Amino acid sequence: MKKIKILHITDFHFRHNGRLFYSSGKKINNGLILNGHNVLNISDRDITNQRKSIFDIGSKKHLFNLIVENIKNFRPNMILFGHVDRLSYLDFIELKNRFKQIKFGQWFLDPLIKTGPDFEKNKSRFFLKYQFCDANFVTTSPSSLNFVNNDRTFFIPNPIDPSIDVYKNHLFKNEIDVFIAISHGQHRGILKDGYKDKRTKFIDKLTKKATYNIFGYNKNPIWGQKFFDELNKCSMAINLSRGKPIKYYSSDRISALLGNGLLTFIDEKYQYQKLFTKNEIVTFKNINDLNKKILFYKKFKKLQKKIASNGYRKAHKIFNNKLISNFIVNKTMGYEIKKKYSWMDD
């Protein structure tokens, strides 16, 4: 693998004081470094948040000028954007014209589901950089999106980082059956007043014969180390994402569930059965099917732990942050990919 210089521009959440130390941006960044690349970071939202000026609304000019100076000094081979929304269309045109020798890529983790939350907003954010990037990476199958070019839009799973996802719940007894965590935006850290989430109706229909550790519904979401502390109390988890199921999409929560050894339930319409066998993850058809399976695996603990263990090993293998970061670099730079995994064929 050729070692290159990468300017990685994304939100590293410094202003949140460690509350989001397990963000996907950090996991991707760690993967780039572990693969031997020279990586320089710019945390766009921390920069614009810290500098206020009535002459530069949103500190957008300051951010753009800072990026240009970093490019001049660092001279990267590649610029990787992650959810960078503070630059304008004209800013990207100027960057592309001034630095023609540099390859541009972006990763985008938010849902691009027509029936899902914030579709038009997310699509607009994605497209802002899409037209300027040599490669784009999304956590939804591009084959399910009719507005992207599949030649330069690629699926990536939510990454697992073995330095962050260090817990092995499948090896221990757990006091609670099922872990569920939903939220309405990680930047707020608290529930939105009056916000309606269809997932709560689903949660209300879960069997009362199992025990649950639920966050983001009736009590605030959890962040930081507390997220893992509460997750570690449970043996199983339900992966619930907003919006109608679409092939391969999931919030980054799935990497925490599989990556830390919980037996994970997911709706079969996400088609994760194409990535994991029935001995590695448990899919369900509807709420009745899920309730039956929760009670079944609650009863048969040995089988429960076996599937959780298999899922843990498989997820750490194919969702590894080094593997995903390597895929991002190879596709953006136009390098050959010698070893493929199932999700790369989409």
- DSSP letter for each residue of 284-311: ESSHHHHHHHHHHHHH-HHHHHHHHHHH
d(CA 113, CA 107) in angstroms, rounded, equals: 16
Decide if 164 is inside a domain: no
Of 137, 237, 232, nearest in space to 181 by CA: 237
Average pLDDT over residues 213-219: 89
Decide if 269 is inside a domain: yes
pLDDT at position 242? 84
Q: What is the Cβ-side half-sphere exposure of residue 188, based on CA atoms within 13 angstroms?
A: 10
- H/E stretch holding 111 reads none
Report the number of distinct structural domains present in the chain: 2
pLDDT tens track for 170-207 = 999 999 999 999 876 555 556 666 666 788 899 999 99
Decide if 26 is inside a domain: yes
pLDDT of 216 over the 70 cut: yes
Decide if 207 is inside a domain: yes
- DSSP letter for each residue of 198-216: HHHHHHHTS-TTS-EEEES
Decide if 150 is inside a domain: yes
Per-residue tokens: 172 = 């221990």
Residue linked to tokens 């980054």: 252
What DSSP designation does 345 have? Answer: G
Query: Do 216 and 248 belong to one domain?
Result: yes
Residue 88's domain comprises 5-159+320-345
Query: Do 110 and 194 belong to one domain?
Result: no
Query: Do 40 and 90 belong to one domain?
Result: yes
pLDDT tens track for 89-119 = 999 999 999 999 999 999 999 989 887 778 8
Sheet order of strands, 153-155 included: 38-43, 5-10, 78-82, 103-108, 135-138, 153-155
Query: Do 291 and 341 belong to one domain?
Result: no
pLDDT at position 160? 98
CATH code of 22's domain: 3.40.50.2000
Decide if 91 is inside a domain: yes
Query: Do 88 and 207 belong to one domain?
Result: no
Average pLDDT over residues 69-86: 96
Query: Do 266 and 309 belong to one domain?
Result: yes
Average pLDDT over residues 244-257: 94
Query: Do 314 and 324 belong to one domain?
Result: no
Query: Do 337 and 307 belong to one domain?
Result: no
The answer to whether 226 and 22 have CB atoms below 8 angstroms apart is no
Query: Do 13 and 153 belong to one domain?
Result: yes
Decide if 227 is inside a domain: yes
d(CA 70, CA 47) in angstroms, rounded, equals: 14
pLDDT tens track for 280-294 = 999 999 999 999 999
Query: Do 271 and 308 belong to one domain?
Result: yes
- DSSP letter for each residue of 228-290: HHHHTTEEEEE---SSS--TT---THHHHHHHTT-EEEEEGGG-GGGTS-TTT-EEESSHHHH
Query: Do 22 and 138 belong to one domain?
Result: yes
Decide if 184 is inside a domain: yes
Query: Do 128 and 201 belong to one domain?
Result: no
